[in-house]
Structure 1
């Protein structure tokens, strides 16, 4: 009978805990998922608002320059156009909704049309031109940008409504699940009550009948060989059953109280308030749940900062020797504090940057702590330790991000300064070296002539590197002097003719397939970007290899792929491939010359033209680079 009662109580407890834990986990996951999705859409909406603000700044700067010719108006223009396309990329990374992405492509194309048809011609003219004939067209194009931005904003709002509706459906489904679990819990409880009632009342009924029969003299000596002894045995059985039932009920109450305390502590730790107020709230919860007279806690927050609280406020502070004794214990292990009546403590581990902490509970009236109470205190300490560690990691991450941002700004300033300081001596070196190289050479020996030629060649190489650095400097970055409709097929054909002699000298084959696709942009800069891609393909491909390109129009975009059978790129280097000065490990191991700026320049030029560039590679098998640019209509015959 005891085994059956124990099994039934255990089943009820397991089911109850399962219901509570499932509800807590599912509700927390649903809430976290909803917050993440809402935050993602909100970030996309903020970025879309930033796009309109950046484009408005750029439009204001262009108009001011057009009217006055003052180049100071171009500062918000430069910042606005760069910021707008950065915000475009942020929106694309924040949403997966096909409608939003389609409208975002239209908005990006509208911004590019305004830049290439109005802004760049005004800026590249370099003088005030209030009567510019394309001003009306520029206003129409900018109105298209506003209309496209509003369409994206409306699509993001619709996406937000869909997210909220989907999350509400998921919440209703979870509520139905919890209702079914509650029904199951009630059914098991009713069944257990029926079984317990039968098991408890059967001995009592047997005792009642025995007493009645004894009083009536109906029991014979054989039926009740020892009447008082049998009575005492029945009463003893009932007493043991009552004691066992009371013990099980007490354990069940303790488990319920433990679960409620852990939930309350977790909720208090998730609240966004001051660390001291949170620590006081946790101390109060622990003290009231365990019936303690005083609770002391010291929680490391970050660095040397600690939150030292006690509950209630009038509780005496802990002696230093007690603190040292507690901190000397193993983190997460509940231990009895010597010489403190009814005192137990659990240390909280620190790390290299933060000292350890502890939770100390005093209960003189009930100095004996049960195993359940110890486990409860240890669970609370683990919850506090986990939350504090997460907060410390978030603070460190924020500090590192700030430091990286400062380093990036210093790097930009350093690059700008170095390139400026290098241009003046390079001009002198090139001038005098060209004078020596262009002379009749009568005063120079053949060895000296070769030295002058080497100086000139390397000075030109250094000059190209400085030009690359200037191009990567956002403050000086411009798309180009002229903006026109560019035939990419013609550009690729010219580049193929340019690289074929070099490829034959290295025993390589260069093949290509190009449809006639037009884009709006700077022909010189686009040629520079595509030349860098072909140059890299030839440079990193060994003798006997092949380089191929393919240009085609796909869904309103010009798509160019450049494929080689070269050394490939390690997987770990792909993420930073388009970062300035980044070079793959195998390229440095094989001593392939390069500054690490070519692909960064490709990315900047392509981004300035409203496009994107990606890379795929397998180590030892080759690489494929894909450039996508907004396509334009073919020009009308003259």
Structure 2
């Protein structure tokens, strides 16, 4: 069986002479066609959509074949005009109205009838296939709905190759999976999937067994994205034209898959960009608030001192000066974070790595945070003596982690700083007994500008930059940072640093 002349081509013979109908039927059925008969225009129009070709006589009761011809052609089948008059004008008019061929009822009419109808069928089939390929081509280059696109591709492949079934397998993160099917026959799915995997393991243009044709997607010398499988319920050989058509359809499937993946990527990038814009908008609002609060306090205490200096006691003056110093320091820390983040975004954050005393750096940082740590039992258990780090970035890392531990835990709860060496790196842990994080929140803890919604609703101040900066500080020092947390049970942030090279013996 080939694309050129399949069995079951349905031909309608429209002739007012029953003898001519009988003779035409006999000749066409011997040529392998499925023949139906009609003696009038009314009979011809009944069920015309299920017909492939029409053999139309010029003379019909109450009308002519020329009048009926456009009505038949617009319903889909190709039309061959038949007449007993060898008129050139009639032939031209028939072709103008949509006939694909013209035949005169002379003494050789029945002898050539099968060949004429066969040529007409080939023309009809060529036009139909070209239209279907054009439709699929337009679809795969413009459509955006994955399921609908692949459903149309496999159904189009099934129709064009006159197969009983068609399946498309596509590579995903889970491996090769069945993306779409068409038709009533897909055979043994496991066997088909195994054949598809073998084809991709040793790429070839096509793999064919009796009743089964597999083509990689795309079929060119590119990384395979999947497999198009064409299936017949009965043993069948696919001819070269069918194989070429299957390769063309696999190319369409590859184009569709590439377009849809690019579209998915574009959508993800747009969503990510929108998220970043939303976060930046939130950051501007948060930073404005964070800057305004200490500035308002500094301005308020300074103005009170200026206006009421004489009326204030020495203790009150010292208290107000302490408040101004505290909020000035807070303001300086915020500006420093913003400047560091701008350096990170510009790719200009660098580290001066040297051998540092890890325990001394931890103790110095805790001491510098003295007022913040008041009322907090802090345990320092640093076993490793030294690590390779930038002293300034290391202290900023510890400051951010300790500040977070204080901010998100109750007064009087314990904070632990541990240091150890394992796996060729120094590991530093900062653990608290605070509110903790859900697993979803832990996954986003190091995202710039991000803060848990329940934290923002509790009016805890912050910009969402601290942990993002910790991640970058540790990265430029050659380490990594992670968090382990459980909601209501506290959090443990762990970062690593390279160890010094051992001294040569």
* Normalised TM-score (structure 1): 0.36
| Bigger strand share | 2
TM-score calculated relative to the size of structure 2: 0.45
